[in-house]
Chain A
Amino acid sequence: MISGGGPTRRELLGAGAAGAAGLLALPASAAADASSTGEPPFSETDRLQRLIRLELLLVYCYRYVLASSILGPRAHERLAPFVGHEEAHVAALESRLKARGGAVPVGPDSIKTANRYLANRGVGGRLGQLKGERDALYLLLTLEQVTIGAYFVAMTKLRDSELITLVCQIMGNEAQHDAVIGLSLPKATPGTAVPYGLVQGLQ
């Protein structure tokens, strides 16, 4: 069901459950047994780069939406601080990446590039084509859920204690963003904004 050009929250959440079910299909010891499965060996540097790319996409999308006047005053006020949060995540992840000798990825430099990244990640909605607050909120909501999913997958692989703690702190923060965006949707309540007992994001 598509409403207003974007999927409903129920559909998105259903997709989240499907994503979680998809994770179930992963071998439990995938990370430990990569050599026998033919999977490439896990690299913390590679994982950090992936997470930073997503965070940079979030920064771009939040900036675009907040600057476009597409949000009503209430949603704008609620979401405005999130850009700074995402920038803080980028800074924290970049410092860990540089400490490991990794090259810092760059974020999207145009709407066209950002839209290509959104499409690659299966996020519905495109910058420049958002028709109202609802479209913008759903785009950000889905992108937050994709980001949570990326952090969850990272959690199934990481070994470094300090990095694990950082990833937990950021994953929790992204989930809070997800809940606040959900609360900004029409007829939402604090209960509907946190509809599931386990959150693993979209994968």
Chain B
Amino acid sequence: MVSDDGAPSRRALLTGTGTALAGGVLALAGCGSVDTGKKAVKQTSASVRERDIAILGRALELERRTVAAYIACIPLLTRPERKACRQFLNEELQHTGELASLIKAAGGKAPPRADSYDLGQAATDGASARALVHSLEALQISSYLGWIPQLSPAPVRAAVASILTVDSQHLAMVRVMQDQDPVPGPFVTGST
């Protein structure tokens, strides 16, 4: 479903993401990181697993918040930007699946999805929409940089690092949409 201005409706976006999620799960099945991480996390002590579950739960909440932001922002963007951001939304959904899978493997239960997420000041146009997804991608990166060293064992850290890596790419491409330098420094920090 497409609205008068050519922008997809929220329903169409959600339907599209449902399809993409299925594709994402298929892609995940062929991916090594989550399976390796799942096997590894099962072999850790209960206390380590509890700590991991808490961190992964916070990461999942942040990914869901970013998904909500993309859903809210995509209709405000230009057609080429919408196409790219739908792709990024699908990938963020894949990240939620990966994190939920790791939580389950650690013996935990993924926290329920909230009815709504606080996205701060609402995006009202393309510029504020780009700024919002920029800020959330950056927040994800800075958060993962803090969380990953606390995770254990190493394969779980690697699995989560593969998510951080993609969020770094999203941030670079959102910067391109904002006419900013896509890679402003040699180390990702998530500070901007």
Contact = CB atoms under 8 A, between A and B. Distances in A.
A26 B174 CA distance: 35
Contact of A169 (B80, B145, B170, B181): B145
Contacts of A32: 43, 153
B58 interface: no
B98 A170 contact: no
Contacts of A25: 32
Given A28-B43, A32-B153, A168-B145, A173 B33 contact: no
A175 B40 CA distance: 25
A183 B172 CA distance: 11
Contacts of B173: 179, 183, 190-191, 193-194
Nearest to A163: B149
Contacts of B157: 155-156, 158, 164
A164 B150 CA distance: 10
A198 B94 contact: yes
A113 B94 CA distance: 41
B183 A191 contact: no
A23 B32 contact: yes
Contacts of A89: 186
A173 B190 CA distance: 11
B57 interface: no
Interface in A161-180: 161-162, 164-173, 175-180
Contacts of A88: 186-187
B90 A197 contact: yes
B169 to A, nearest CB: 4
Interface residues of B, number: 63
Contact of B165 (A17, A172, A180): A172
A164 B164 CA distance: 13
A57 B31 CA distance: 28
A44 to B, nearest CB: 12
A82 interface: yes
B166 interface: yes
Nearest to B161: A155
A87 to B, nearest CB: 8
B128 interface: no
Interface in B61-81: 80-81
A196 B31 CA distance: 11
B163 A198 contact: yes
A81 B154 CA distance: 32
A162 B149 CA distance: 8
Nearest to B148: A168
A172 B168 contact: yes
A199 interface: yes
Given A164-B149, A194-B88, A176 B33 contact: no
Given A84-B186, A172-B168, A176-B183, A200 B148 contact: no
A21 interface: yes
A197 B158 contact: no
B161 A28 contact: no
27 contacts: A20-B33, A28-B36, A28-B40, A29-B153, A31-B154, A32-B43, A86-B186, A89-B186, A155-B161, A157-B154, A167-B161, A168-B161, A171-B165, A173-B185, A176-B171, A176-B188, A179-B173, A189-B83, A190-B84, A190-B174, A190-B176, A194-B170, A197-B24, A197-B28, A198-B28, A198-B95, A200-B31
Closest 9 CB pairs of A and B: A197-B94, A172-B168, A24-B32, A172-B188, A28-B39, A197-B91, A88-B186, A23-B32, A85-B186
Given A86-B186, A169-B189, A173-B187, 12 more contacts: A23-B33, A85-B185, A155-B161, A159-B154, A168-B188, A171-B165, A180-B172, A180-B183, A190-B81, A191-B85, A194-B88, A199-B162
